[in-house]
A and B are shown apart, each in its own frame.
Chain A
Amino acid sequence: MIEISNVSIGFETIRRRTKKDGAANPAAESGTGDMFALDGVSLSIPEGCVYGILGSNGAGKSTLLRLICGVYRPDDGSVMIDGEKVWDNEKAKEKVFFVNDETVQFTEYTPKELANYYSCYYEGFSVEMFDRLTEQLGLPVNRRLSTFSKGMKRQAIVALGLSSGTKYLLIDEAFDGLDPAMRKLVKNMITDAVLDRGTTVLISSHNVTEISEYCDRAVLIHKGKIVFSGEIDEIRGGLCKVQFVRKESPVTREEIEQTGLEVLQYTLLGSIAQAILRGDSDTVSEKIGQVSSDLAEQIPLTLEEVFVYELKARGYGDETD
Chain B
Amino acid sequence: MITLDVTGRLPIYEQLCRGICGEIAKGVLQENDRLPAARALAKELGINPNTVAKAYGALERDGVIYSVAGVGCFVAKQKDRADRRFLEEFEQKTREAKKAGVSEEMLRGILSRVYGEKEKHGQPGGDGK
Contacts and interface: CB of A to CB of B under 8 A. Distances in A.
B39 A300 contact: no
Contact of A295 (B4, B7, B46, B100): B100
B83 to A, nearest CB: 22
B87 interface: no
Given A209-B6, A236-B11, A300-B10, A195 B48 contact: no
Interface in A179-199: 183-184, 187-188, 191-192, 194-195
B96 A191 contact: no
B67 interface: no
Interface of A: 48-50, 183-184, 187-188, 191-192, 194-195, 209, 212-216, 232-233, 236, 294-297, 299-302, 304
A68 B11 CA distance: 29
Contacts of A232: 11
A-B CB proximity, top 4 nearest? A300-B9, A216-B50, A188-B43, A233-B11
B57 interface: no
Contacts of A304: 7
A214 B9 contact: no
Contact of A213 (B38, B46, B49, B96): B46
Given A48-B50, A50-B48, A194-B49, A213 B12 contact: yes
21 contacts: A191-B48, A191-B49, A192-B39, A194-B48, A212-B6, A212-B12, A213-B4, A213-B12, A214-B47, A216-B48, A216-B50, A233-B13, A294-B99, A294-B100, A294-B101, A295-B99, A295-B100, A296-B99, A299-B9, A300-B11, A302-B7
B78 interface: no
Interface of B: 4, 6-13, 38-39, 42-43, 46-51, 54, 96, 99-101
Given A50-B48, A214-B48, A216-B51, A295 B43 contact: no
Nearest to A188: B43
Contacts of B49: 191, 194-195
B75 to A, nearest CB: 23
A183 B6 CA distance: 15
A209 B9 CA distance: 11
A60 to B, nearest CB: 24
Contacts of A297: 96
Given A209-B7, A295-B99, A297-B96, A50 B50 contact: yes
Nearest to B99: A295
A195 B9 contact: no
Given A192-B39, A216-B50, A297-B96, 10 more contacts: A48-B50, A50-B48, A188-B43, A194-B49, A195-B38, A213-B12, A216-B51, A294-B100, A295-B99, A300-B10
Given A300-B10, A302-B9, A184 B46 contact: yes
Nearest to A305: B9
A311 B36 CA distance: 39
Contacts of A50: 48, 50
Contacts of A236: 11
A187 B8 CA distance: 20
A50 B49 CA distance: 9
A233 B47 CA distance: 14
A36 B42 CA distance: 39
A123 B50 CA distance: 28
A294 B8 CA distance: 26
